[in-house]
Amino acid sequence: MTTAMIDLRSDTVTKPSAAMRRAMAEAEVGDDVLDGDPTTRKLEERTAEILGQEAAIFFPSGSMANQAAIWALGERGTELYVHEDSHIVNLEMGGASALAGMQIRLIRGAPRVTRETLMSAMRSPGRDFPRATLLSIENTHNGSGGMVTPLAELSALFAAGRSVGCKILLDGARLWNASAATGTNPADFAATADATMVSFSKGLGAPVGAALAGSKAVMKAAAEARKRFGGGMRQSGIIAAGALYGLENNFARLGEDHAHAQKFAAIVSESKNARVVKPESNIVMIDLPEGTDAMSFAKAAMERGVRVSVWTATRVRSVMHLDVSLEQVERAAMVLRDLLI
Ligand SMILES: *Cc1c(COP(=O)(O)O)cnc(C)c1O
């Protein structure tokens, strides 16, 4: 066996293509902290245009963009409503409390936020309760396996949040996938929120970067937070060019990753031992049979040339992306299926 490892741990493992690297190498640059970087401006303008917002600003990561939005939209000593399996809760080092001084109130209940679970988290303002000033929902929702919240439902959830005084952060690290899965224009999703975070380093295949989009006023506050957090970048056009290339060239192909996820799930499901969560976008979650722990399963898969990520003790995650072909996806699925027999 001489075949290369098929890495399905995440859509962040993609490497910039030759054409993307060329765009980066040739990018026109300036000092973005001093007096502006032209390629970064171009990316920000294009992102704002695609999201139908007044402005957008470039960030080194989605986590920093989320944290800047929390800083800009939330109030110290008040609550942030967010799903218990969200990136903000699990993977941002407690930033909402450490940086913005917000208390997190979890929206409990798998697999993603629904009207019922949001209603049970929300409390009406009282003399003793902290007020809530921010609601954030992911679309697609990573922790649930890339589930999509359709526009009408998302809009209703956000309206419920606004009715109790919340501002809205749409965590759209994979908004591009939500758009590809539903046919909804990303601008229609962004129109429901005060700030929308999008990532360039996931499905779009850029090496670095994310953006936040919203009104000029909110972006001004977020840009202040970005600088305060140490996110001022100088000749950022080098990486902005990669992001811009991904946006212009790789957005339209995301449907392929979704079709690959369907194919992958169908093959793994041929084993009756596994429970495969039916994919709605590019992520496939597999709940392992009793007695199989995720760590040893992932190790066994790796020994057979396939990398998946350990999501919980009994669940592994596989993510389709532009660096894996249909043939590789099928081969990887067969490896997992055969391990589950
Ligand atoms: C990846 C991700 C982020 C953070 O993006 P980074 O660039 O990795 O910091 C935020 N939210 C969700 C839902 C994500 O999947």
Contacts (Cβ under 8 Å, ≥6 apart) of 265: 276, 277, 278, 279, 284, 333
Q: Which residues of 52-69 are buried (b: 16+ CB within 10 A; e: fewer)?
A: ebebbbbbbbbbbbbbbb
Question: H or E stretch including 217?
Answer: helix 216-228
pLDDT in tens, 148-193: 999 999 999 999 999 999 999 999 999 999 999 999 999 999 999 9
pLDDT in tens, 209-261: 999 999 999 999 999 999 999 999 999 999 999 999 999 999 999 999 999 99
| pLDDT value for 175 | 98
| pLDDT value for 1 | 46
For ligand 1, the distance from its centroid to the CA atom of residue 210, given in whole angstroms, is 9
Cβ neighbours, 10 Å, residue 119:
11
The pLDDT of residue 329 is above 70:
yes
Mean pLDDT for 296-324 is 97
Mean pLDDT for 64-70 is 98
Contacts (Cβ under 8 Å, ≥6 apart) of 232: 32, 33, 226
Contacts (Cβ under 8 Å, ≥6 apart) of 133: 73, 74, 75, 78, 79, 80, 102, 165, 166, 167
Residue type, 197: M
pTM beyond 0.95, yes or no = yes
For ligand 1, the distance from its centroid to the CA atom of residue 332, given in whole angstroms, is 25
pLDDT in tens, 185-201: 999 999 999 999 999 99
Atom of ligand 1 nearest to the CA of 60: 7
Residue nearest atom 4 of ligand 1, based on CA coordinates: 62
The pLDDT of residue 323 is above 60:
yes
Contacts (Cβ under 8 Å, ≥6 apart) of 73: 133, 134, 167, 168, 169, 194, 195, 218, 221
The pLDDT of residue 17 is above 50:
yes
The pLDDT of residue 125 is above 80:
no
Residue nearest atom 2 of ligand 1, based on CA coordinates: 173
The domain over range 18-249 is classified in CATH as 3.50.50.60: no
Enumerate the domain spans of the chain.
18-249, 254-340
Query: DSSP secondary structure string, 234-293?
Result: SSTHHHHHHHHHHHHHHSTTHHHHHHHHHHHHHHHTTSTT-EEPPPSSSEEEEEPPTT--
Mean pLDDT for 5-18 is 97
Of 9, 11, 12, 63, best ligand 1 pocket probe by most atoms within 8 Å of the beta carbon: 63
Question: H or E stretch including 303?
Answer: helix 294-303
Assign a CATH topology to domain 254-340: Aspartate Aminotransferase, domain 1 (3.90.1150)
For ligand 1, the distance from its centroid to the CA atom of residue 62, given in whole angstroms, is 5
Instruction: Give the mean pLDDT of the chain.
Output: 96
**8 Å CB contact between 237 and 243:** no
Whether the domain at 18-249 and the domain at 254-340 fall into the same CATH topology: no
Contacts (Cβ under 8 Å, ≥6 apart) of 118: 81, 107, 135, 157, 160, 161
Of 9, 171, 282, best ligand 1 pocket probe by most atoms within 8 Å of the beta carbon: 171
Model confidence at 274, in pLDDT bands (50, 70, 90)? confident
| pLDDT value for 296 | 97
